[in-house]
C-alpha cells in the first residue's frame, strides 16, 4: 500500500510540474515604464519618428532589451517608418524587480502600447524576436480579426512550445522541475549583462539579464500554451523566420507556426548560419546576417504597402 501511495505521489508531482495544471499568473497589475533605473543606456527604449503615416513596433525578447534592434531600427527608419522599440517595464532595471513580473503583465503592456500606436498610424507592423515573437503572435491572435488588426506581423525565433514529446521538441529538461523550484526561489544567479566579450558576430554587444529566472520563466512557458492553442486565430499577413541551428529556441517551433496559423499571406524563411560563438538566435543582432535579413523584411513589408495601392 505504501508503495502505491509513493508511486501516486511521484506521478502527481510529475504531472503538476510538466502540465502546469492549475497554474495562473497571480500578479496582474499593469506595469508602467520608468527608465531612470535602467542599468545601461543601451537598454533604453528606441524611438525614431519622422511624422510618417506608417510605423513598426519592435518587441524584444526574454531577458533581453531593445538594444538588439539598434541596427534594424535605423534601417526601418531610413526606409520611411516611424520606429518604436519599447523597453518592457522591469526589463533592463533591477533583476529583483523583473523576477517577480510575468507574461500576463508583459503582454498587457505591449497591448496598451500597440493600441496607442494604432490610434496614431494608419499602418502598423509588428516584429518580435524570441519572446517578442511570441508576444507578436499573441497580438495577432487578439487583434487580427478586429478593426485594430496589425497590417503585418514578423516573428524571429518565436517559441510556441517549450518541451513537447508529441512535437519532438525539447528546449530544457530542467523545466520539468521548474514549478517546484519556483516555490522556493524566484531566480538563480540573476545578474545584469552589458556586453559579452566571449562572443562574436555582434553578440558581444548583447545587453540584458543573465542567470535563471525561475518564476518569470515558468510564466513564459505557461504563456506559450495559449498562444500555440490559438494560432488559428492569426489571419493577418505573417512572416516567420528561424535559424535551423538555433540553440535557444528549437527550430521545430517554426514548423508548428507554419502548420497551425491561418494567415491568408504566410511566408517563412529558414536561415543557415555558420559557426559562431553565439546561439544563432537573436538574428537581427548578428553582423553577418543583419543587413541582408533586415533588407528581406523591409522588402516583405514594402510589398504589402504596394499591394495596398
Q: Rounded mean pLDDT of 258-275?
A: 96
List, in order, residues 6 or more apart from 53 with CB less than 8 Å away.
Answer: 121, 122, 123
Helix axes 214-229, 131-143, angle to 10 degrees: 40
Average pLDDT taken over every residue of the chain? 95
What is d(CA 140, CA 126) in angstroms, rounded to the nearest whole number?
9
List, in order, residues 6 or more apart from 123 with CB less than 8 Å away.
Answer: 53, 54, 55, 151, 305
pLDDT of residue 24: 96
In this predicted structure, the answer to whether residue 304 has a pLDDT above a threshold of 70 is no
pLDDT tens digit sequence for 76-135 = 999 999 999 999 999 999 999 999 999 999 999 999 999 999 999 999 999 999 999 999
134 within 8 A of 157, measured Cβ to Cβ = no
pLDDT of residue 184: 96
User: DSSP state, 280?
Assistant: S
Q: Where are the alpha helices (DSSP H) in the chain?
A: 2-19, 70-78, 95-98, 103-120, 131-143, 178-181, 214-229, 252-260, 290-307
In this predicted structure, the answer to whether residue 308 has a pLDDT above a threshold of 60 is no
User: DSSP state, 232?
Assistant: G
pLDDT tens digit sequence for 276-292 = 999 999 999 999 999 99
In this predicted structure, the answer to whether residue 307 has a pLDDT above a threshold of 60 is no
pLDDT of residue 263: 97
Q: Rounded mean pLDDT of 170-178?
A: 91
Count of Cβ atoms closer than 10 Å to residue 182 Cβ? 19
CA distances from 163 to 176, 200, 271 (A): 9, 29, 23
In this predicted structure, the answer to whether residue 252 has a pLDDT above a threshold of 80 is yes
Q: What residue ranges define each of the domains in the chain, with the CATH number in brackets?
A: 27-307 (3.40.50.1820)
In this predicted structure, the answer to whether residue 305 has a pLDDT above a threshold of 50 is no
In this predicted structure, the answer to whether residue 35 has a pLDDT above a threshold of 90 is yes
CA distances from 146 to 133, 143, 150, 152 (A): 20, 5, 9, 14
192 within 8 A of 210, measured Cβ to Cβ = yes
Q: Would you put residue 280 in left (φ > 0), alpha (ψ -120 to 50) or beta?
A: left
pLDDT of residue 9: 86
The reported pTM is 0.96
pLDDT of residue 1: 81
Helix axes 103-120, 214-229, angle to 10 degrees: 60
* 221 three-state secondary structure: helix
**Residue 175 — very low, low, confident or very high, per pLDDT cuts 50/70/90?**
confident
Structure-model confidence comparison of residues 51 and 252, the more confident one: 252
In this predicted structure, the answer to whether residue 306 has a pLDDT above a threshold of 60 is no
Q: Which of 290, 240, 18 is nearest to 134 (CA)?
A: 240
Structure-model confidence comparison of residues 223 and 13, the more confident one: 223
**Cell matching residue 229:** 492553442
147 within 8 A of 119, measured Cβ to Cβ = no
**Cell matching residue 309:** 495601392
Structure-model confidence comparison of residues 33 and 149, the more confident one: 149
pLDDT tens digit sequence for 207-244 = 999 999 999 999 999 999 999 999 999 999 999 999 99
Amino acid at each position: 500500500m505504501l508503495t502505491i501511495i509513493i508511486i501516486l505521489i511521484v506521478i502527481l508531482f510529475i504531472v503538476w510540474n510538466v502540465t502546469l495544471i492549475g497554474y495562473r499568473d497571480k500578479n496582474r497589475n499593469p506595469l508602467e515604464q520608468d527608465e531612470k533605473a535602467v542599468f545601461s543606456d543601451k537598454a533604453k527604449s528606441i524611438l525614431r519618428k519622422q511624422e510618417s503615416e506608417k510605423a513598426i513596433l519592435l518587441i524584444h525578447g526574454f531577458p533581453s532589451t531593445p538594444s538588439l534592434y539598434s541596427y534594424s531600427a535605423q534601417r526601418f527608419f531610413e526606409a520611411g517608418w516611424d520606429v518604436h522599440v519599447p523597453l518592457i517595464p522591469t526589463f533592463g532595471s533591477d533583476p529583483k524587480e523583473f523576477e517577480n513580473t510575468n507574461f500576463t503583465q508583459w503582454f498587457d503592456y505591449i497591448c496598451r502600447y500597440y493600441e496607442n500606436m494604432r490610434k496614431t498610424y494608419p499602418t502598423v507592423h509588428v516584429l518580435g524576436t524570441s519572446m517578442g515573437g511570441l508576444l507578436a503572435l499573441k497580438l495577432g491572435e487578439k487583434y487580427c480579426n478586429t478593426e485594430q488588426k496589425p497590417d503585418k506581423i514578423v516573428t524571429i525565433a518565436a517559441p510556441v512550445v517549450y518541451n513537447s514529446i508529441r512535437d519532438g521538441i525539447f528546449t530544457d529538461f530542467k523545466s520539468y522541475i521548474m514549478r517546484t523550484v519556483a516555490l522556493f526561489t524566484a531566480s538563480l544567479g540573476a545578474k545584469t549583462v552589458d556586453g559579452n566579450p566571449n562572443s562574436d558576430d555582434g553578440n558581444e554587444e548583447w545587453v540584458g539579464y543573465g542567470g535563471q529566472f525561475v518564476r518569470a520563466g515558468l510564466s513564459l512557458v505557461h504563456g506559450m500554451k495559449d498562444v500555440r492553442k490559438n494560432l488559428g486565430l492569426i489571419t493577418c499577413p505573417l512572416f516567420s523566420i528561424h535559424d535551423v541551428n538555433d540553440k535557444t529556441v528549437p527550430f521545430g517551433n517554426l514548423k508548428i507556426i507554419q502548420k497551425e496559423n491561418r494567415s491568408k499571406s504566410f511566408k517563412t524563411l529558414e536561415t543557415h548560419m555558420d559557426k559562431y560563438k553565439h546561439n544563432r538566435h537573436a538574428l537581427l543582432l548578428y553582423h553577418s546576417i543583419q543587413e541582408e535579413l533586415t533588407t528581406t523584411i523591409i522588402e516583405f513589408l514594402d510589398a504589402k504597402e504596394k499591394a495596398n495601392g
